[in-house]
Amino acid sequence: MIKTEDGSKYSGKFAVGDDVLDGELTFSGRDTSLYLHSPEFFRPDANADRCIQGTLHDLTKVSLLECVAYPIPGTANSQTGSYNFTEVKPHFVLHGRELISPASNLIDAVRFIASDALSIFHDHDAFAHAIAPTPAQIRSLVTAYEKVAQRKVKIGDRPEIAFFTGKREIFEAQTAFGTISATNNPRSNIFSGASGVFIRNFVTTDVRFDEPVTFQTALEAAMVILQFLELIAGRRQNVDELFVEMKGGNDHPERLDVYWCNPLARKGHSNERAPQFSDIPVDAVREPEAFAQILTRWLERHETWKVARSRFSASFSEENCYDTDRLICAANMYDLLPGSAVPTDVELPADLILARDQCRTIFRALPDSSERSSVLGTLGRVGKSSLKRKARHRAVPIVEALGQRLPHLNEVIDCAIDCRNFFVHGGDARVDYVGRFFDTVPFLTDTLEFVFGASDLMEAGWDIVAWAKKGTTMSHPFGAYRASYSGHLSALNDALPTDRKLF
């Protein structure tokens, strides 16, 4: 297996069009590159699928996907003559014992490690350290080891035993994406020695497809599931490791390691705090059936929700960084929800319908202008569900479940939309959003994000009442929002004008 640390270089032969060229692959994050050279002219962009396949000198097969290359190579002279060269930038490098092309439906499974996987899937009873092991316990283990090592081992007066219970599967769900599961994958030093022994666990999330798919389809599935895990963890996830599985030449499964040259990455903050397992809203270890059910239902409607969820993810991932753009994004995602998730249009009285239609006829007869288009657009929205109504509608199950814990939630939502409207359209704010920024904008943003994310989970089966009864260390945004709601509500109320006070 090749190493992919920054600066690692590997030479090999690479197929470009009808040519097989000498090249050097350098791993360096977003600067990862393939340097190709040949005494003969070649076209770096000869592969229409933007995939370059090759074999390194250690016989590792590599497939470089989504390559960016100049159409014409450079030329240079050496002591032995002239040669052509170019540098290719791939987005992904898949390496292992098989080659793969972008259009091939060969991927049976995709597996990845999310950066907060050990918090999301905190299976703390699967690994333990035996407290005060008895002489019989240590003697049994040592006797078995002596048979393998073929030598006697002396037992001291303070033995220690660390163990893994063997429980690998954490949960499994049959979903529209395929079979999704999370598993414990302990790694240990097989050979003991004076430096000691260890068992280190890595929790992988696996997707096994019903039928083989392309690499792009596998990657998209992994990213959707990662988006769900970000909601569960309360922050954006880095992909620490990524693999795909395909059938090899003898129908045996082959693993290809995926090197993502420029992956999505969480912004680091000096006060960054990892989520505590006790704050995770859905416990996959102690309630695997509930977790599987929520994930399954969440995925069932992703196709119609994906645009709104992508905006939520972009806003939610900013964590403790707030500005007006984030507030606007958090409000606008309600307009991107499918019709089934928001209230129906308002039923207008006949006289209002007549007035709207007459105005529309008058303005349509006028010459085209931005003002005319603006008025027609406004007339077209008459009777449509407003942004406030959509956000309030999403909050209904939350108010029903936690109304006493989150008083005036609907009024806070109205304030959030008013704030958004001011920063989008201008006008008379009646609230000093700049001078009282920290009393208004962060809390209003958190409210819109909490209502969106919590209601989405609730409709998938999340028990928010049971969650609200638990304590919190505030390492998850939902718990922090619940715990600090009263104080933030008072600060917001203080910033509002007298005639708009909440209490």
| Cα(406)–Cα(404) distance, integer angstroms | 6
| Cα(35)–Cα(180) distance, integer angstroms | 38
Tokens of 205: 């999330």
pLDDT band at 343 (very low <50, low <70, confident <90, very high): confident
Model pLDDT, residue 79: 81
490's CB contacts (< 8 A; 6+ apart) are: none
Alpha carbon distances (Å) from 367 to 155, 157, 363, 370, 371: 97, 97, 8, 10, 10
179's CB contacts (< 8 A; 6+ apart) are: 172, 173, 206, 207, 208
Model pLDDT, residue 272: 66
pLDDT band at 417 (very low <50, low <70, confident <90, very high): very high
Q: What is the average per-residue pLDDT within 367-381?
A: 88
pLDDT score of 181 more than 60: yes
What residues pair up with 53 in beta bridges, in sequence order? Answer: 15, 63
CB 444 within 8 A of CB 492: yes
pLDDT score of 269 more than 60: no
CB 241 within 8 A of CB 281: no
CB 407 within 8 A of CB 447: no
Please state at what angle helix 387-402 crosses helix 437-459, rounded to 10 degrees: 70
Model pLDDT, residue 348: 82
Model pLDDT, residue 385: 81
| Cα(401)–Cα(450) distance, integer angstroms | 14
| Cα(372)–Cα(85) distance, integer angstroms | 58
CB 25 within 8 A of CB 12: yes
Model pLDDT, residue 213: 97
| Cα(393)–Cα(183) distance, integer angstroms | 38
Which amino acid, residue 224?
A: V
Tokens of 435: 């001078």
pLDDT score of 267 more than 80: no
| Cα(207)–Cα(112) distance, integer angstroms | 9
DSSP letter, residue 375: H
pLDDT score of 270 more than 60: no
| Cα(483)–Cα(493) distance, integer angstroms | 17
For the CA atoms of 300, 305, 310, 312, the dihedral, rounded to the nearest 10 degrees, stands at -110
pLDDT score of 407 more than 60: yes
| Cα(179)–Cα(177) distance, integer angstroms | 7
CB 51 within 8 A of CB 45: no
| Cα(207)–Cα(178) distance, integer angstroms | 6
Query: How far is C-alpha 231 from the geometric centre of its chain's CA atoms?
Result: 8
Q: What is the mean pLDDT of the chain?
A: 93
pLDDT band at 246 (very low <50, low <70, confident <90, very high): very high
Q: What is the average per-residue pLDDT within 312-325?
A: 94
pTM for this predicted structure: 0.90
Model pLDDT, residue 251: 73
pLDDT score of 197 more than 90: no
Model pLDDT, residue 201: 94
pLDDT band at 353 (very low <50, low <70, confident <90, very high): confident
pLDDT score of 221 more than 80: yes
Choose among 281, 291, 225, 309: nearest CA to 480.
Answer: 281
**Length of the chain in residues, anyone?**
503
CB 264 within 8 A of CB 236: yes
| Terminal-to-terminal C-alpha distance of the chain | 65
Question: Is the Cα dihedral 389, 392, 397, 399 positive or negative?
Answer: negative
pLDDT score of 250 more than 80: no
Tokens of 269: 């903050």
pLDDT score of 380 more than 80: yes
Tokens of 257: 């390691």
Radius of gyration over every alpha carbon of the chain, rounded to an integer in angstroms: 29
| Cα(276)–Cα(292) distance, integer angstroms | 21
Model pLDDT, residue 345: 78
pLDDT band at 271 (very low <50, low <70, confident <90, very high): low
Residue 415's SS3 state is helix
Choose among 403, 404, 492, 397: nearest CA to 451.
Answer: 397
Tokens of 398: 């939350």
Tokens of 173: 């769900």
pLDDT score of 502 more than 70: yes
Model pLDDT, residue 268: 63
| Cα(129)–Cα(90) distance, integer angstroms | 45
| Cα(279)–Cα(258) distance, integer angstroms | 32
Tokens of 419: 């704030």
- Tens digits of residue pLDDT in 437-456: 999 999 999 999 999 999 99
Model pLDDT, residue 249: 67
Tokens of 107: 């991927």
Q: What is the average per-residue pLDDT within 314-343?
A: 94
pLDDT score of 65 more than 60: yes
pLDDT score of 191 more than 90: no
